[in-house]
Chains A and B, each alone.
Chain A
Amino acid sequence: MEFPSFDRRTIVGLSIGALIPAFALTHTVVARYRVSRHRLAEEWSARGERDLSDAPEAAVVDFQTALSFSPDRNDDRLRLAEALMQAHHPAEARAQLLTLWAEQPGNGRINLALARLAAEDGDVGHAVRYYHAAVDGSWDSGAQAARREARIESAKLLLAHGQLVRAQSELIGIISDLPSDSGTITSVAALLVSAGADSRARALLDRALALDPGNRDAARLAGQIAFRSGDYHGAREYFRVAEVSDAESKEMLAISEDVIALDPFARGLVHTDRVSRARECLEIAAERLHRCQLPATAPPGAPLRYPDQAARLEAARKLSVRQLTRDAEALDDVMTLAFDIEKIQDAQCGPMDARDRALLILAQRGVR
């Protein structure tokens, strides 16, 4: 085909002029192409969402297909990474997340996902760094809850690796941001307990119980903290609220009640009660000594293992109520004897019951 002949200026002018329809045509084609790609990406993405819960492998293919139509849909790439994690392809998930991270290093969601992967690998250093980046990062929605979640996960990881002080600092960071939700507060308090921050945990648990007095978990935890801190009255109250059923708490409750019931030095006691408790303590110590003097396995006629204490015990037993009431030193001697017996037997005579434990606790608190 022969074209008419023009000079250069005209040809250049025509070439430039023809760019307008060429752009318009290309624009039309591209617009349709974009709509089509967007629609396909949406379809495959929706399919991925449907498959994500019960068929993560299929979801992986779905999201990969969605990304092939729209590689810049970062949400789909993130969902792909999540699907890969669910389908147990951590290396691939990490690669996808790192690609996203390279573009959005301040994205909280990406950092949290990376932190979880690192945590799964036991890579505490990277995990904590990503958790912190998630805390400091940006979130599209639910930022406060997500940041709290990141800190809690970070604390759990640190606790699992024995890094109690770092875990404490993670948890302390969220105390002021905790919602008015008794359950959430209790779970954070439980972590604080694991991190060895009993006093902060107890304050939180009191807050949880104020919000929900029927929160048995909070009460049980608070009771254990109170027990460990020597607040047996508090422990008894908490355990009663908790209506404890586990063996450990039950034992703590029993011991707490015994400590309260046996303590001859408790404030406000009249002398007769004090003497009565001292004598009861002595009888408990006597029982313990008796059990240890002649173990069940000992042959008949075997010698006593603690003859001195037995002799002292017999002498103390002979003191009358009147003598003890009048003579404060004698009362102290009785209690000292009871405590000595429990201390020695604790070291040499094996398991003891709740009353012996209560007596030992009183012994360890010392004579006031």
Chain B
Amino acid sequence: MNLRLRPSLSEEQVLLIVAVIVGIYSGLAVVCFRIAIEWFHLRALGSTLVPSFPRVVVVPGGVGLVVALLVIRFFPAVRGSGVNQTKAALYIYDGFISFRTVVGKFITSALAIGSGQSLGPEDPALQIGAGIASALGRRLKLSRSRLRYVAPVGAAAGLAAAFNAPITAVLFVIEEVIGRWTAGVLGAVVLAAVSSVVTEQWFLGDQPLFRVPPYHLEHSSELLAYAILGVIGGGVSIVFVKLVATLRPRLRALPPWTWYLQPAIAGVLIGIVALWFPQVLGAGYDAMDQAMHDAFGWRMLVALCVLKLLATTASFVAGTPGGLFAPTLFMGAMLGAAVCAVERQVAPGMTGPIGSYALIGMGTLFAGILRAPMTSVFMIVEVSGNYSIILPVMISNTLAYVVSRQFQRHPLFDVLSRQDGTDLPSMEEEREAEVHTVEDAMRTVDGIMLNGAEPIERAIAAAEQASGEFFLVRLGGGAWGGISRAALLALHSSADGARPLTSAVAPFARPYLYPDQSIESALRALQERPLLPVVHRADPGRVVGLLTLDDVLRLYRVGNAVA
């Protein structure tokens, strides 16, 4: 069978075309998904922001029962948020996500979120996009390596449409799912994200996710408040992750028949909370908008943050399909606004608009809980449309990230994947992994370097004083060569001992390494030579060390022994 679209199209180019198609389909799917959530919400809870008592008590619990039945009986792969499932498709299942999962995720998430479970639509949209991409990739019989990457491409499309924020989606997928900035994949991810956002905006308009008052820094001392927000946000993130990490395996360890009841019980609990605090129902975007517009006092904001944390924990650990992005943003918005409200009382006249604090709080919790620092910064800039907000965002997000890392070793999604028995690569750990350089492994030059200008006889005499089996030869003009002890001795018997050593040694094609080069690239060079000089970048004639394969192995042995 001819596997090429056209003789001139490479596999990479096919991936780009697929990315655009996937983006459009994902955009359409996400539009319908959002409408489905709202349609069901209206039918189940009514059009008011404060649903009536019977609905609030009955609907989340009742629908939770239905959702549990659907998940356990028909769509077992749709539990949870969808981010890890997409990563698993990339790293374990060769890009496979069944279309049944897409359908199941669509239906069960729409029911769960629409009925008021405290979860968001973004992560499911990500998985829906990934599933669409996977299905199309399989039909196109893409190569295994391309098929693996097509799921994250779809994920970016789904997330971009759900957030109406293509940069955020691209960064998240690169930062948290793929972990690499290869040109081919990046191009496909960007194309998919852009085409899905264009499709989504075609139907739903280009309104930003949040409409906030303009940001301005009232006083430079306000940055201190943002730093405090970062520290508190880091603390709240730790509490949330630890709560989920502790409760989720315990609930999973209960008898399987209880799994049918867990989402329902979570729904009932949320319903009871919603009798007094209806803002915790669903994704909570309306409440976030209100918080950004100064609708709540600081006590109410703190209460909403805490209650949302508990409600989301309940929904998520019960295995209800739905995402963590929106609840994370909700908690962050309430926390940020609460910090602003308190600051106003402590230092009146020194506080900027509360909407800015709420926005920055969102990024703070995103950095603390999901541990995607780059995404968290650009997300806030993108959804606010205000570049000047970046300074407090960076301060707050970085502090939240650092605090969270200090007290919670693994990010939430890594914890979840390990609980599920799938050891997916941790992008954070990969980012943080120590990269060895030539400098770490190289040895000093003493004893194994010969001067090419000297006669062969003197070179042999010098070699006899040294212990190595291979010698480096300085050839002049910045060039280097090498010769083994055996070849040197052979020269002594066959050639004129007065000839300069240069005449018998050929220069290396690329005869040196630099101290800052990675060990990986040095190893490639060492395939051809047993020993290479390490030279100064500004002065290639100046040798600062030597590197052999033994040196590299010794470095890793020492590293392992220390570990």
Chain A residues with CB under 8 Å of chain B are 3, 6-9, 11-12, 15-16, 19, 22-23, 26-27, 29-30, 33, 36-37, 40, 43-44, 61, 64-65, 67-69, 71-72, 89, 91-92, 94-96, 98-99, 101-103
In the bound complex, residues from chain B placing their C-beta under 8 Å from that of A65 are: 47-49
In the A-B complex, the 6 residue pairs with the closest CB atoms: A98-B213, A95-B293, A95-B294, A92-B294, A91-B294, A102-B214
Task: Supply 7 further A-B pairs (C-beta < 8 A) apart from A68-B49, A102-B214.
Answer: A7-B1, A9-B5, A36-B42, A64-B290, A69-B47, A92-B295, A99-B211
Interface size on B, residues (CB 8 A): 45
Contacting pair A95 B5 (CB below 8 A): no
Q: Provide the bound-state CA to CA distance between A16 and B20, in Å.
A: 10
Q: Provide the bound-state CA to CA distance between A71 and B213, in Å.
A: 14
In the bound complex, residues from chain A placing their C-beta under 8 Å from that of B286 are: 64, 68
In the bound complex, residues from chain B placing their C-beta under 8 Å from that of A33 are: 35, 38-39
Interface residues of B in 197-211 (CB under 8 A from A): 203-205, 207, 211
Interface residues of B in 255-294 (CB under 8 A from A): 286, 289-290, 292-294
In the bound complex, residues from chain A placing their C-beta under 8 Å from that of B50 are: 61
Q: Is residue B32 within 8 Å, beta carbon to beta carbon, of the partner chain? A: yes
How many residue pairs bridge A and B at CB < 8 Å?
A: 103
Contacting pair A26 B203 (CB below 8 A): yes
Contacting pair B353 A71 (CB below 8 A): no
Query: Per-residue 0/1 for B138-158: is the Cβ within 8 Å of any A Cβ (1 yes, 0 no)?
Result: 011100000000000000000
Residue B207 contacts which of A23, A72, A89 (CB distance < 8 angstroms)? A72
Evaluate whether A29 and B35 lie within 8 angstroms (CB atoms) in the complex, with A8-B3, A15-B21, A64-B286 already known: yes
Tell me, rounded to whole Å, the shortest Cβ–Cβ distance linking B316 to chain A: 24
Considering the complex, give the chain B residue whose CB is closest to the CB of A91.
Answer: B294
In the bound complex, residues from chain A placing their C-beta under 8 Å from that of B25 are: 15, 19, 22
Considering the complex, give the chain A residue whose CB is closest to the CB of B38.
Answer: A33
Interface residues of B in 1-33 (CB under 8 A from A): 1-6, 14, 17-18, 21, 24-25, 28, 31-32
In the bound complex, residues from chain A placing their C-beta under 8 Å from that of B141 are: 8
Evaluate whether A16 and B294 lie within 8 angstroms (CB atoms) in the complex, with A23-B28, A61-B49, A99-B212 already known: no
Contacting pair B140 A12 (CB below 8 A): yes
Q: Is residue B392 within 8 Å, beta carbon to beta carbon, of the partner chain? A: no
Q: Provide the bound-state CA to CA distance between A36 and B141, in Å.
A: 42
Query: Per-residue 0/1 for B490-525: is the Cβ within 8 Å of any A Cβ (1 yes, 0 no)?
Result: 000000000000000000000000000000000000
Q: Is residue B136 within 8 Å, beta carbon to beta carbon, of the partner chain? A: yes
Q: Is residue B354 within 8 Å, beta carbon to beta carbon, of the partner chain? A: yes
In the bound complex, residues from chain B placing their C-beta under 8 Å from that of A40 are: 42, 47
Q: Provide the bound-state CA to CA distance between A40 and B47, in Å.
A: 8
Q: List 25 A-B contacts (CB under 8 A).
A: A7-B1, A7-B2, A8-B140, A11-B139, A19-B25, A22-B28, A23-B28, A26-B203, A27-B203, A29-B31, A29-B32, A40-B42, A61-B50, A64-B290, A65-B47, A68-B289, A71-B211, A91-B354, A94-B294, A95-B292, A95-B354, A98-B213, A99-B355, A101-B213, A102-B214
Q: Provide the bound-state CA to CA distance between A23 and B199, in Å.
A: 9
Considering the complex, give the chain A residue whose CB is closest to the CB of B47.
Answer: A40
In the bound complex, residues from chain B placing their C-beta under 8 Å from that of A37 are: 38
In the bound complex, residues from chain B placing their C-beta under 8 Å from that of A29 are: 31-32, 35
Evaluate whether A26 and B28 lie within 8 angstroms (CB atoms) in the complex, with A33-B35, A33-B38 already known: yes
Evaluate whether A8 and B14 lie within 8 angstroms (CB atoms) in the complex, with A15-B21, A19-B24, A71-B207 already known: yes
Considering the complex, give the chain A residue whose CB is closest to the CB of B142.
Answer: A8
Residue A92 contacts which of B14, B47, B293 (CB distance < 8 angstroms)? B293
